Amino acid sequence: MKRHLCIFFLTAALAALCVAPAHALEYTIDGPEDYLFGRPTSDDTIYEWENPNVDRSKNTALIPPGFGSPTSYLPNSGEYLTPNLVPGALNGGLVNQVGSVGNPNGGTPTNTTGSGYPAPSTSLDSSGYPTVSGGGSTGGQATAFTEVTSSLYYSNGSLGTLKIPSINLTVGVYEGTGSAPLLKGAGHFEGTSIWLGNVCVAGHNRGVRNDFGKIHTLKSGDTITFTTVLGTMTYSVSSVTKVAVTDTSGLSATAHNQITLYTCVENQPAYRWCVKAVAAS
Partners of 164 in the beta sheet? 169
pLDDT of residue 195: 96
C-alpha closest to that of 267 among 112, 49, 74: 74
- H or E segment at 274? strand 271-279
Q: In this predicted structure, what is the pLDDT of residue 132?
A: 35
The pLDDT of 124-139, averaged and rounded, is: 36
Q: Which of 136-145, 170-179, 272-281 has the lowest mean pLDDT?
A: 136-145
Q: Is the pLDDT of residue 192 over 60?
A: yes
Mean of per-residue pLDDT scores for the chain: 74
Task: Count CA atoms closer than 13 A to 255's CA, side-chain side.
Answer: 7
Cα 277 to Cα 194: distance, rounded to the nearest angstrom: 15
Tell me the torsion sign for CA atoms 95, 169, 273, 232: negative
* Position 206 confidence tier, pLDDT thresholds 50, 70, 90: confident
CA distances from 95 to 109, 158, 249 (A): 7, 27, 18
Within a 10 A sphere around the Cβ of 263, how many other Cβ atoms?
24
Q: What's the average model confidence in pLDDT over 179-205?
A: 93
Task: Tell me the mean pLDDT in the region 209-232.
Answer: 94
Q: How far apart are CA 100 and CA 62, in angstroms?
A: 10
More confident position, 77 or 216 = 216
Per-residue DSSP letter, 270: T
Which residue has better confidence, 263 or 62?
Answer: 263
In this model, does residue 142 exceed pLDDT 60? yes
The Cβ-side half-sphere exposure at 28, using a 13 Å CA radius, reads 3
Which pLDDT belongs to residue 52?
A: 65
Answer yes or no: is pLDDT of 169 > 70: yes
Q: What is the mean pLDDT of residues 25-46?
A: 66
* All domains of the chain in start order, with CATH: 58-110 (no CATH), 123-279 (2.40.260.10)
166: pLDDT strictly greater than 90: yes
Mean pLDDT confidence for 134-138: 39
